[in-house]
Structure 1
């Protein structure tokens, strides 16, 4: 790395009841993972400020939800999407500075987030129920879809704005009010985004942001005024949040980890499959829950595939994430950097063969960089094949038959995503049906769409984000039954 000019430390504030609000808790120093220097300050919220954010959301809920036509919510969401599109570079620069993801990806994520807001805005006035034909013709019955009320959204540090859009867009469209708790590691972009909310004209209290520690998080997930919690993060924290929310019987959406199997069959188009596998693990420095971290390759082509992947991996340009020429930036923070290096060292000592990268190469890069790393001869039951590294480390596992590939793919506790590379249409459909995963990509990987639902099974969580399925998760059913007859009822006899 060359000399990096000194940056003025930026200050970011909480957002409560439509106002920028100075936190009254501990000072957080946001560290640029490329320079290893503090670039921003955020003061955390106190419990009293977390309470104020919930109160503001609860106060705004009736007017924003049932009392406001969906078309009015849609207008504000469309305006927000326009602002996000126009400020994509500004927000992407903040996020890349905060978490090290390359700006080519963060900028694309800003535009995709805007697309999510537009898609959900288009659904805001279409949350219809239906009439139900009953046995008794004198009874008229229909259903309504209503907002839940106050939603707490807790996002992870790897893609703050994109992850927020997955939750916020359906929650707003359905008529809910929001309290967001971003990761304290990367809160800056979400706090900046709050300014766009104000500019778009959202009423005070509809959108609130607090940054805090575990105590603040527990307060948000256990408060009786909260009607839904949506969390993206680790399995361990997800289990804690589910237990906390259970005290109030608050429904929870959990988008957790993954150990996704990317399967290359012998008949695959390797000119597409090899770059797809590289993108699947090394994009975002491997810090994504859907990373194709297990590459299952038919034994007849494994040498050819590994050679191609190593060649591409060794051509990846590591550097400043805000430089458009950079292919891979640093990992987001020191604790994650240490975790990844420990996993790489353990993989080498357990017998996996290092094809490229590794601990030594990572340390030669300096700072918080981890070299693109490929291991072969990985045993399906090894730690490298079973535990989430959340870094640029690929485990290559050979297989001999379709059944064996499915068995290996399904052999972890996770079930978030998977990939299939084949030119055989029958194989693509039959294997996709057998894979235990919420998403199956065929001849592509890490491809997203606003209309397509996303979520996992097993330890990858439950509930869905994006698509109409996410919108419905932020609503509740109400049944209305009307007696159209003039009959006088016997009070002691049920009427059917």
Structure 2
């Protein structure tokens, strides 16, 4: 009996979509076709590849109304936010615009005697294993530059957002994109690992949990397949005494609560200088209290359900443990009668927290944030680095030199000043420690999706 992948909607717990799991031999045949198609694709002029990829993204945009509603059903994001097309288009346009520069050869010598150069050549077949929290944008981070660079791409999405890869593949097919170059596979974990172990891919990009990253590494062991892994996060914000308080509250709280806190670079812990601490926590609690928890299909909803009941259960457990250990919850539960003990989870701001509590140490990935008072930069820096993850850090100060100086000492992938929860496609999206390795977007993204090939051409005897 064949297995079935089922997307359980967080709106009401019903089965929203289901697809049969593809058998491994059938999947391997599809990957082999992609490998064959890639050879001719890599020989096409760069400007032609760019044009065809952009046309595929334009076709995806035409599906906007359906996609936004599907996302609400699959993972709970309110329809009022309009899906992910802003980020998809921004990243596509930027990566298309820098393709010539990012893929340009390094010419060492071009003389009558020697031609010496390093070129960027595609890996071949790139496997994109995409998560459910931002299923379009995270996938596009790799799909677009990988295709532009001359690779074929195989996509596998999380079951929670089962239809996304199918949507992307259909959009490209409908746009006239060459057959077999971008394919979507419905695989379970075992199927994915089998294909990886069989050395079916030349590069793998995975966005997901630390446990998932370890499973990918184990499956790829001995194949020498390149890996890009973007895993867990516990991103800090630090509000200094010279920060614009209202601005900091608004951006940091949005970074903590948007998408029900289910953001890779969402703010999960905040450290505030003593002079601003009392005012900050008062304003932060007020900000969270004004959110509207409810059905994501309703325009008035600003906070939808978490994508899965078990995700909400973990956030509740971390919050409960913190309160039992002495933390204080500032948001009144009476304001959120929609919190049903299941996927619908109210926002929460915690004070009197410390790093002995899981809510300040483990990834929460939900609408809860802990706030601590700090006396100086040294204490804030020590607390920000007291973490096994390192994706982004958000620094709030009017002093750019101070932000840069502190940022140099933070163990993280990206440092932001007076901004949070934003991915700049011109900068390398990367992390350290248990957040993973590799880097997407920017020129470095092109370097990771290609390999260097050197040419030493002796044209004549010196």
Which of the five TM-score ranges fits, normalised by the shorter chain? over 0.9
User: Which structure 2 residues correspond to residues 224-303 of structure 1 after superposition, within 5 A?
Assistant: 224-303=199-278
CA separation in 2, counterparts of 1:356 and 1:149?
51
8 Å CA contact 2:57, 2:172 repeated in 1? no
Cross-structure match for 1:195: 170
Whether 1:26 aligns to 2:28 is no
- Could you tell which deviates more after superposition, 302-311 or 361-370? 361-370
The aligned residue for residue 96 of structure 2 is 121
Task: Work out whether 1:75 is the aligned partner of 2:51.
Answer: yes
Q: Which residue of 2 aligns with 1:465?
A: 440
Task: Look up the SS of the partner of 1:316 in the other structure.
Answer: coil
Is it true that 1:186 corresponds to 2:186 in the alignment? no
1:133 deviates by: 4.2
Match for residue 12 of structure 2?
35
Distance 1:390 1:364 in 2: 17
The 2-side partners of 1:337 and 1:424 are apart by 38
Question: What CA distance in whole angstroms lies between the structure 1 residues aligned with 2:326 and 2:365?
Answer: 21
Q: 2:79 aligns with which of 92, 103, 120?
A: 103
Deviations 1:55-98 (A, max 9, x none): 12111110111x11111111111212222333222212211211
Q: Report deviation, 1:360.
A: 11
CA–CA distance in structure 1, aligned partners of residues 35 and 453 of structure 2:
20
1:412-431 map, 5 Å:
412-431=387-406
Q: How many residues align?
A: 461
1:85 counterpart residue number: 61
After TM superposition, give the deviation of residue 41 of structure 1 in Å: 2.0
Indicate the SS of the match to 2:119. Answer: strand
User: Which structure has more RCO (C-alpha within 8 Å, separation ≥ 6)?
Assistant: 2
* 1:220 aligns to 2:199 (yes or no): no
Answer yes or no: is the 8 Å Cα contact 2:270–2:372 preserved in 1.
Answer: yes
Could you tell me how far 1:190 is from its partner in structure 2? 2.1
Counterpart in the other structure of 1:17: none
Matches within 5 A, 1:358-437: 364-365=339-340, 367-437=342-412
Give the equivalent residue in structure 1 for 2:29.
52
Give the Cα separation in 2 of the matches to 1:374 and 1:43: 41
Q: Deviations over 1:163-184 (max 9, x none)?
A: 1011111111111101111101
CA spacing shift, 1:446–1:218, aligned 2, 3 Å: same
SS in structure 2 of the partner of residue 230 of structure 1? strand
Deviation for aligned residue 1:367:
4.2
1:244–1:328 distance in 2 versus 1, CA, 3 Å: same
Q: How does 1:10-21 map to 2 (within 5 A)?
A: none
SS of the aligned residue for 1:356 comes to coil
What is the TM-score when the length of structure 2 is the normalising length?
A: 0.95
Separation (CA, whole Å) in 1 of partners of 2:322 and 2:100: 52
Distance 1:447 1:364 in 2: 28
For normalisation by structure 1, the TM-score amounts to 0.88
Q: Secondary structure at the match of 1:332?
A: coil
User: Which runs of 5 or more structure 2 residues have no equivalent in the other structure?
Assistant: none
Specify the structure having the higher radius of gyration (Cα): 1
